[in-house]
Amino acid sequence: MFKTLSVILLSFILVGCATNKANFDVRTQTVAYKDLEKVKAPKGDPIIIAVYDFSDMTGQKKPGGNFASMSSAVTQGSYQLLIKSLQDAGDGKWFRVVERSSLPSLLQERKLIRTTRQMANGENAEPLPALLFAGAYITGGIVGYDSDIKSGGFGARVLGISANTQYRQDIVTIILRLVNVQTGEVVISTTIEKTIVSTATGGDVFKYFDADTMLVEIETGYAKNEPVTFAVRKAIEKGVVDLIHLGAEKELWEFSADVVEVPEIKDYVDITTENEETSIEVLTETEKDLVQENDNKEWNDLETEEVKDENNDETIDTSNVHTN
């Protein structure tokens, strides 16, 4: 019985060690979004910018076991992720993003508004305001998704009890380009790579008990894959942060200066005066009498000294007269 309990306890210990969580967590992992919010605000008004195209250029399909998968390996919504990252840069103070992906739908809706107003008001219909135009636009895409860059694992087996762990590492690569609308020049280009970690751990027990007549078999496992969409989002946000810093280095824009408020000296003078007045007001009646008595004593001493000085002067004058 003791042997049976010992084997079962050992099995649970090994399985528990094998099923530890992976060394990353989506909720606590440091993401680029925190840095995106903390970027210093620009000097002046937000920059009007457009995004025309940012899509998956890899053509990679989601890896499967022994079957072909028709799903894409990376998200097809990277365009929307880029727009959201631009709007969140510096707590929304860096960019004003104008719509260009659904521009035909936008123009069609504006045409419908003009037609409706003309039908209702005729020639007196109020015109629509002009669309915002951007001085620069951002383009690029997801240019690489490499799977099984690193893979491996280890395990152990003792008396029919085993534990093992495996890991795999993939890499996703994106490129961001900032293009000057007036000249067509690619002003800034940056490349970001983000690793994607997948781990799997497990353990099993295969043991005979009671004179090799009873077989016990236990198997368990745990797997965790870092979301590919999360990795793409993190890479895009990191790319936006790099884009802002590279633009500042090339003097395309500037960061706002920190304003330091220095208190005036007058504030300290007022405080000192108030403290002195307060200290005088809190004197008790006894303390006031002592102060008055000391002042009277000092005054009397001064008068006595003056009388003595006058008497000395008269004595000196009298002696001078007798001498003469």
The predicted pLDDT at position 28 comes to 47
> Mean pLDDT for the chain?
76
Mean pLDDT of 190-207: 87
Is residue 272 scored above 70 in pLDDT? no
Asked if pLDDT for residue 295 goes beyond 80, the answer is no
Radius of gyration in angstroms for the set of CA atoms belonging to the chain, rounded to a whole number? 42
Indicate left, alpha or beta for 174 from its phi (over 0: left) and psi (-120 to 50: alpha): beta
Mind listing the pLDDT tens digit for each residue in 152-180? Answer: 888 888 877 888 888 888 899 999 999 99
Of 28, 21, 16, which Cα lies nearest the Cα of 167?
Answer: 21
Mean pLDDT of 264-281: 48
Comparison of pLDDT for 291 and 276, the residue scoring more:
291
Average pLDDT for 226-246: 90
Of the chain, the percentage scoring pLDDT greater than 70 comes to 65
Question: For position 43, what pLDDT does the model report?
Answer: 87
pLDDT of residue 138: 94
Quote the DSSP letter at residue 8: H
Q: Could you tell me what percent of the chain has a pLDDT over 90?
A: 21
Comparison of pLDDT for 110 and 28, the residue scoring more: 110
Q: Which of 49-53, 134-138, 193-197, 266-270 has the lowest mean pLDDT?
A: 266-270
Helices of type H across the chain: 2-18, 32-37, 78-88, 103-121, 228-249, 265-281, 285-323
The three-state secondary structure class of 56 is strand
Q: What b/e readout covers 125-160, taking b as 16+ CB neighbours within 10 angstroms?
A: eeeeeeeeebebbbbbbbeebebeeeeeeeeeeeee
| pLDDT at residue 157, rounded to an integer | 83
| Kind of pairing between the strands at 95-98 and 136-158 | unpaired
What is the C-alpha to C-alpha distance for residues 64 and 196, in angstroms, rounded to an integer? 16
HSE (side-chain half, CA atoms, 13 Å) at 184: 0
